[in-house]
């Protein structure tokens, strides 16, 4: 493995380590500790899986491993963590109240804009699974699967908004920062990952556009050669 590979692994490890440290500093007692941790780890994994998509060739040169293996590993881990987050919460709610109340954890709320964004993690999970299905059916839906899969980016934004508004490990921009420095740093990290993910999404779209233009130019060149030969 090239030295760039160690830098890449160290960078990802540093992000996870920073999140874990901030979480452990913030964690008080055992209340919802796994529910909160799974949400954080899941979001980070999904963010990283999205941010590395424009660098497929570079990662292959470094690791000599198909990009999809790296992407799928991060995605599957992230999807597992993000799924366990509401599942554990639903179980906890069902034990404390009723099974029906526990099941409501998975349903989006549309009573008001504030409530929708407060619980935006609910539609985010649904959107993520739709995006995953889009990737699974790409062979039979070659022209549109990318746009379905791109719903991941919307889901990540929903997840971050939900975390900032409702997560105890974040700083909700309400009240003074003093006393909640770890939450403020956590929020800044996720906002930075959001900006970087949007930037890499745009970069990937530019790459696809250039590739399409290049293929079109080659096809036109072939058509011109065939026309010349016929003449």
The CATH number assigned to the domain holding 87 equals 1.20.120
Residue 200 — φ and ψ, nearest 5°? -70, -30
**Does 229 have pLDDT greater than 90?**
no
- Buried b / exposed e across 137-168, counting CB within 10 Å, b at 16+? eeeeeeeebeebbebbbebbbbbbbbbbbebe
The DSSP line for 13-79 is HHHHHHHHHHHHHH--TTTTHHHHHHHHHHHHHHHHHHHTGGGHHHHHHHH-S-HHHHHHHHHHHHH
Rounded mean pLDDT of 70-85? 94
Measured distance CA(153)–CA(175) in Å, rounded: 29
Measured distance CA(166)–CA(124) in Å, rounded: 14
Range of the domain at 127: 3-230
pLDDT value of position 152: 92
Query: Structural domain tally of the chain?
Result: 1
> How would residue 75 be classed by pLDDT, with cut points 50, 70 and 90?
very high
Signed CA dihedral, 156, 161, 167, 169: sign only: positive
Average pLDDT over the chain reads 89
Measured distance CA(156)–CA(128) in Å, rounded: 8
**Does 162 have pLDDT greater than 60?**
yes
Measured distance CA(171)–CA(144) in Å, rounded: 38
Q: Residues 6 or more apart from 121 whose CB is under 8 A from it?
A: 39, 85, 86, 158, 159, 162, 163, 166
**Does 226 have pLDDT greater than 70?**
no
> How would residue 92 be classed by pLDDT, with cut points 50, 70 and 90?
very high
Residues in the chain: 231
**Does 29 have pLDDT greater than 80?**
no
Tokens representing residue 114 in the block: 């504030």
Measured distance CA(47)–CA(44) in Å, rounded: 5
């Amino acid at each position: 493995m090239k030295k760039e590979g160690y830098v890449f692994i160290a960078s990802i490890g540093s992000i996870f380590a920073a999140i874990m440290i901030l979480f452990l500093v913030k964690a008080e007692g055992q209340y919802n500790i796994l529910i909160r941790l799974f949400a954080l780890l899941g979001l980070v994994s999904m963010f990283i899986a999205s941010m590395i998509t424009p660098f497929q060739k570079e990662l292959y040169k470094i690791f000599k491993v198909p990009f999809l293996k790296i992407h799928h590993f991060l995605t599957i881990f992230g999807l597992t963590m993000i799924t366990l987050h509401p599942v554990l919460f639903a179980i906890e709610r069902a034990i404390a109240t009723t099974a029906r109340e526990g099941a409501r954890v998975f349903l989006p709320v549309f009573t008001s804009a504030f409530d929708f964004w407060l619980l935006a993690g609910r539609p985010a999970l649904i959107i993520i699974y739709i995006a995953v299905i889009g990737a699974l059916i790409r062979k039979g839906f070659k022209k549109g699967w990318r746009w379905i899969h791109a719903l991941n980016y919307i889901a990540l934004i929903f997840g971050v908004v939900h975390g900032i508004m409702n997560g105890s490990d974040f700083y909700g921009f309400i009240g003074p920062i003093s006393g909640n420095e770890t939450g403020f740093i956590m929020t800044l990290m996720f906002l930075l990952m959001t900006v970087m993910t949007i930037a890499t999404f745009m970069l990937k779209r530019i790459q696809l556009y250039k590739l399409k233009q290049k293929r079109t130019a080659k096809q036109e060149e072939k058509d011109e050669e065939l026309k010349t030969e016929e003449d």
